[in-house]
């Protein structure tokens, strides 16, 4: 495999560096408009077996490796690949400009697939502006403050896992029924009353299902905002194609900082939790007790893939906000600043409304 180090595709017409264009879905020269097609293939996009790979001892699996030049941001620690010898690298995560950056050669598991960017910078900005405009409580000047230079398109590393799960379960399902009992009526006699009881029924069974593409993000940089990332990263993985470093031309690409073994463990606990839920619903009943599930996993495989994301770091009133725009679907997630004035007006309006109804009820 070609090393992405010094990976250059000069424009055949003018010699400028080509980049992957999300609008044209091919390489494009910003200088003269020349284009060059990249094949979208799915021949190498194979699952790698997890067995033989010892999750416990961090040993590297039997998968294609590649040597990458990795730049580590001295400010925030983000590790991104360097596509060519650039005099300056701007960190995709914190925006720090680094002159004459030092990049280290690093051996990494090569991505099997990549989901090429579909959302251009302009489209990302448009989505963002309509999103901040949608929020009635957002400050009025927020839309104008979304500066395009704060939008960075970056390929984020992910692991995906497949596994066949087979579970045996046993437990007790409880069913409600009512009995009529006699209770004192407080006047020296008795009266009938309905009382709920539970009939317990031991049950057992088995459940099996195949888990396809359990997605685990491999970026420590984004791990702190997992909820937002999960919201933005609803990707359609059928569009993932064979990894070709040319899809990365002109884009930042982060290298994985959460390794395969940690991610495999997380995928496994996700699968076990889903199996437990599935077994609980098979057990049935109004209530349950003593459910025990034993799950066996087999045919575990993994893939390393890169998925496109726009990261927008944005400062409003001295507070930093980050927004994410899915680079495939344009879906946005993040926190929107709220206008203190608009919230105050809303609260005052609410109080007035309460007072109004209180006054009416007094009449
Ligand atoms: Zn050109
Ligand atoms: Zn940084």
pLDDT tens column, 206-243: 999 999 999 999 998 888 887 888 888 889 999 999 99
CA–centroid distance, 247 to ligand 2, in Å, is 23
Nearest bound ligand to CA 16?
1
Q: Is the dihedral of CA 219, 222, 228, 232 positive or negative?
A: negative
The rounded Å distance from CA 113 to ligand 1 centre is 28
Co-location of 270 and 142 in the same domain: yes
pLDDT above 50: residue 2: no
Domain count, the chain: 2
Q: Is residue 100 part of a domain?
A: no
Measured in residues, the chain has a length of 363
Judgement on whether residues 327 and 182 belong to the same structural domain of the protein: no
For residue 39, tell me if it sits in a domain.
no
Q: What average pLDDT does this structure show over 248-264? A: 90
**DSSP letters spanning 269-321:** HHHHHHHHHHHHHHH-SSEEEEEEEEEEEEEEEEEEEEEEEEEEEEEETTEEE
pLDDT at residue 149 is higher than 70:
no
One domain for residues 284 and 178: no
Whether 6 shows a pLDDT value over 60: the answer reads no
Ligand nearest to the CA of 73: 2
CA of 96 to the centre of ligand 1 (A): 29
Ligand 1 center to 42 CA (angstroms): 29
pLDDT tens per residue across span 49-94? 887 555 444 455 667 787 788 888 888 888 888 766 666 778 878 7
Closest C-alpha among 1, 122, 83 to residue 247: 83
Distance 219 CA to ligand 2 centre (A): 13
Angle at 249 between CA 244 and CA 251, to 5 degrees: 115
Mean pLDDT, the chain, whole residue set: 85
Residue range(s) defining the domain that contains residue 179: 172-202
Ligand with minimal distance to 14 CA: 1
Do both 192 and 326 map to the same domain?
Answer: no
pLDDT of 169 above 70: yes
Give the closest ligand to the alpha carbon of residue 34.
1
Residue 149 sits in the same domain as residue 179: no
Q: Is residue 198 part of a domain?
A: yes
Claim to verify: residue 218 and residue 290 sit in the same structural domain: yes
Instruction: Kindly give the distance from the C-alpha atom of residue 65 to the centroid of ligand 2, in angstroms, as a whole number.
Output: 26
Does the residue 93 lie in any domain? no
pLDDT of residue 142 exceeding 80, the answer is no
Model confidence at 47, in pLDDT bands (50, 70, 90)? Answer: confident
Which has the closest alpha carbon to 257: 111, 156, 362? Answer: 156
Closest CA to 154 of 346, 282, 308: 308
Q: Are residues 120 and 192 in the same domain?
A: no
**Which pTM value belongs to this model?**
0.81
Residue 183 covered by a domain = yes
> Which of 185, 202, 219 is the endpoint of a domain?
202
Domain assignment present for 358: no
**One domain, residues 188 and 298:** no
Q: Which of 184, 202, 220 is the last residue of a domain?
A: 202
What distance in angstroms lies between residue 8's CA and the mean position of ligand 1's atoms? 13
Ligand nearest to the CA of 30: 1
Q: Is 321 among the domain residues?
A: yes
Residues 238 and 348 in one domain: yes
The answer on 251 and 182 residing in a single domain is no
The answer to whether residues 114 and 249 touch, using CB atoms and an 8 Å cutoff, is no
Q: Report whether 324 contacts 93 (CB < 8 A).
A: no
Picking from 186, 202, 218, the residue at the C-terminal end of a domain is 202
* Ligand in closest contact with the CA of 36: 1
Residue 21 is assigned to a structural domain of this protein:
no
Question: Contact at 8 Å (CB) between 337 and 141?
Answer: no
Strand, helix or coil at 355? helix
- Tell me which of 227-231, 337-341, 352-356 is least confident: 337-341
Q: Do 212 and 259 have their domain in common? A: yes
* C-beta of residue 153 within 8 angstroms of C-beta of residue 310: yes
pLDDT on residue 106 = 80
Give 135 Cα–ligand 2 centroid separation in angstroms: 30
Do 247 and 308 lie in a common domain? yes
User: Does pLDDT of 204 surpass 60?
Assistant: yes
């Amino acid at each position: 495999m070609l090393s992405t180090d010094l990976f250059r595709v000069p424009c055949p017409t003018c010699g400028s560096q080509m980049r992957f264009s999300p609008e044209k879905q091919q390489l494009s020269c910003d200088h003269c408009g020349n284009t060059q097609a990249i094949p979208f293939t799915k021949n190498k996009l194979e699952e790698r077996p997890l067995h033989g790979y010892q999750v416990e001892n961090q040993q590297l699996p039997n998968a294609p490796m590649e040597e990458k030049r990795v730049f580590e941001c001295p400010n925030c620690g983000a590790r991104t690949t360097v596509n060519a010898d650039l005099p300056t690298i701007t960190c995709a995560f914190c925006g720090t400009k680094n002159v004459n950056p030092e990049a280290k050669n690093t051996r990494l598991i090569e991505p099997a697939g990549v989901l090429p960017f579909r959302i251009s910078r302009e489209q990302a900005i448009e989505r963002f502006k309509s999103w901040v405009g949608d929020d009635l409580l957002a400050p009025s000047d927020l839309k104008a403050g979304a500066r395009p230079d704060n939008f960075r398109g970056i390929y984020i590393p992910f692991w995906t896992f497949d596994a066949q799960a087979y579970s045996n379960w046993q437990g007790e399902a409880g069913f409600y029924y009512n009995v009529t009992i006699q209770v004192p009526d407080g006047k020296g006699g008795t009266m009938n009353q309905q009382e709920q009881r539970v009939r317990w029924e031991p049950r057992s069974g088995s459940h099996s299902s195949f888990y396809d593409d359990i997605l685990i993000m491999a970026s420590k940089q984004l791990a702190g905002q997992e909820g937002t990332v999960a919201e933005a990263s609803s990707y359609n993985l059928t569009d993932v194609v064979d990894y070709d470093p040319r899809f990365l031309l002109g884009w930042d690409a982060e290298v994985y900082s959460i390794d395969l073994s940690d991610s495999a463990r997380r995928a496994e606990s996700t699968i076990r939790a889903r199996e437990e839920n599935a077994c609980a619903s098979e057990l049935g009943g109004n209530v349950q007790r003593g459910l025990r599930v034993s799950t066996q996993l087999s045919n575990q495989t993994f893939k390393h893939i890169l998925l496109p994301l726009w990261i927008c770091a944005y400062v409003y009133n001295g507070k930093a906000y980050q927004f994410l725009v899915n680079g495939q679907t344009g879906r946005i997630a993040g926190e929107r600043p709220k206008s203190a004035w608009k919230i105050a007006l809303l609260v005052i309006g609410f109080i007035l409304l309460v007072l109004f109804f209180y006054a009416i009820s007094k009449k």
